[in-house]
């Protein structure tokens, strides 16, 4: 077993940084999770949340897959995550699979998935935690859990309907079919599809546009978007008023107003 993710930090011309995280198990089609993956992903996300210089994260895969999802040989042999009693397996799902999903979904900064190839099972679920998805024309997406005689143990029954609607989520889950990148675009699962060689450049361009915005306001906007999936309008209005009061007192707010009045790009420091 090896570490799951390699990191790169790209400093941005206007300040701040974009973190690039790459699944680095190309020889295993970036299969996951190994037992230590929950701790690793949680640690990365906690560090990004605490680092006020990080303004966006791009997540991609090494080799020809984004992630093929669970290790079928480990499932067959009932080892690692799948070893022992039902109670033991349940607890490992909570500590490993669910920790990965919760950590990525809980990132304070925007997360862009640059899906370079198949994103299957948990791999599809991880892509679905992103705020935006840029897909290679070689990408595909699937949730073939029933094909393996199991269910979506990664929260897909909650996430997929919110991303593509109930009936399309039902089609993916009930048929175990996979969809290509163009279908994913048509369904609203991804933001755009680009040629394979242009994938990372496109994702980094989008990340750079995010990083150029005032970082505190970006984090607050992401929080509102995520809460807005389940909160009432009144709850979001109350949160918006509180966040807006904080935003109005920042130096970045004054910089933004002055930049618009002076017809120049804003340079946001996070203050």
How high is the mean pLDDT of the chain? 96
Could you give the 3-state DSSP secondary structure of residue 125? helix
Alpha-helical segments (H) within the chain: 37-50, 72-77, 86-92, 98-105, 122-127, 156-164, 166-175, 181-187, 199-211, 215-228, 233-248, 251-261
Alpha-helical segments (H) within 17-121: 37-50, 72-77, 86-92, 98-105
For residue 1, is pLDDT > 60? no
CA dist., res. 137 & res. 111, Å (int): 20
Residues spanned by the domain of 252: 215-261
Q: Are residues 178 and 247 in the same domain?
A: no
Q: Are residues 173 and 254 in the same domain?
A: no
CATH number (domain holding residue 194): 3.90.226.10
Q: Are residues 127 and 234 in the same domain?
A: no
Q: Are residues 113 and 227 in the same domain?
A: no
Could you give the 3-state DSSP secondary structure of residue 186? helix
Could you give the 3-state DSSP secondary structure of residue 232? coil
Q: Are residues 26 and 52 in the same domain?
A: yes
* CA dist list (Å): 229 to 107, 162, 163, 215, 270: 16, 8, 10, 22, 27
Residue 159 lies in a domain: yes
Phi, psi dihedrals of residue 7, rounded to the nearest 5°: -120, 150
Cα 94 versus chain centre, distance: 19
Q: Are residues 153 and 183 in the same domain?
A: yes
* CA dist list (Å): 2 to 24, 31, 196: 9, 11, 26
Tokens of 217: 């306001």
CA dist., res. 41 & res. 33, Å (int): 10
Domains identified in the chain, total number: 2
What pTM does this model have? Answer: 0.96
Q: Beta-carbon neighbour count of residue 239 at 10 Å?
A: 16
Q: Are residues 142 and 223 in the same domain?
A: no
Q: Are residues 242 and 203 in the same domain?
A: no
Tokens of 122: 């948990």
Condensed to tens digits (0 to 9), the pLDDT of residues 236-260 reads: 999 999 999 999 999 999 999 999 9
Q: Are residues 118 and 231 in the same domain?
A: no
Condensed to tens digits (0 to 9), the pLDDT of residues 41-95 reads: 999 999 999 999 999 999 999 999 999 999 999 999 999 999 999 999 999 999 9
pLDDT value of residue 255: 93
Q: Are residues 120 and 230 in the same domain?
A: no
Condensed to tens digits (0 to 9), the pLDDT of residues 171-192 reads: 999 999 999 999 999 999 999 9
Q: Are residues 203 and 116 in the same domain?
A: yes
CATH number (domain holding residue 247): 1.10.12
Tokens of 162: 């919110």
Nearest Cα to Cα of residue 251 among 234, 237, 271, 231? 271
Condensed to tens digits (0 to 9), the pLDDT of residues 89-118 reads: 999 999 999 999 999 999 999 999 999 999
CA dist., res. 66 & res. 77, Å (int): 24
């Amino acid at each position: 077993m090896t570490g799951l993710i390699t990191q790169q930090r790209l400093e941005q011309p206007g300040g701040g940084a974009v973190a690039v995280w790459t699944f680095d198990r190309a020889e295993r089609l970036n299969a996951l999770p190994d037992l230590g993956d929950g701790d690793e992903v949680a640690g990365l996300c906690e560090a990004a949340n605490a680092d006020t210089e990080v303004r966006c994260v791009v997540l991609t895969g090494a080799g020809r897959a984004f992630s093929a999802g669970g290790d079928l040989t480990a499932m067959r042999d009932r080892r690692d995550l799948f070893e022992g009693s039902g109670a033991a397996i349940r607890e490992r799902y909570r500590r490993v699979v669910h920790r990965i999903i919760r950590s990525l979904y809980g990132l304070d900064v925007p997360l862009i998935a640059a899906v370079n190839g198949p994103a299957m099972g948990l791999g599809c679920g991880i892509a679905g935690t992103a705020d935006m998805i840029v897909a290679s024309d070689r990408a595909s997406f699937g949730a073939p859990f029933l094909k393996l005689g199991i269910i979506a143990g990664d929260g897909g029954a909650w996430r997929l309907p919110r991303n593509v609607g109930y009936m399309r989520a039902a089609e993916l889950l009930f048929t175990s079919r996979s969809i290509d990148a163009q279908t994913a675009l048509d369904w609203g699962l991804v933001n755009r599809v680009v040629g394979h060689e242009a994938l990372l450049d496109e994702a980094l361009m989008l990340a750079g546009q995010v990083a150029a915005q005032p970082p505190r306001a970006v984090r607050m906007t992401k929080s509102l978007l995520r809460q807005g999936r389940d909160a009432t309008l009144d709850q979001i209005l109350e949160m918006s008023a509180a966040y807006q009061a904080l935003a109005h007192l920042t130096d970045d707010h004054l910089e933004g107003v002055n930049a618009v009045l002076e017809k120049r790009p804003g340079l946001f420091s996070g203050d």
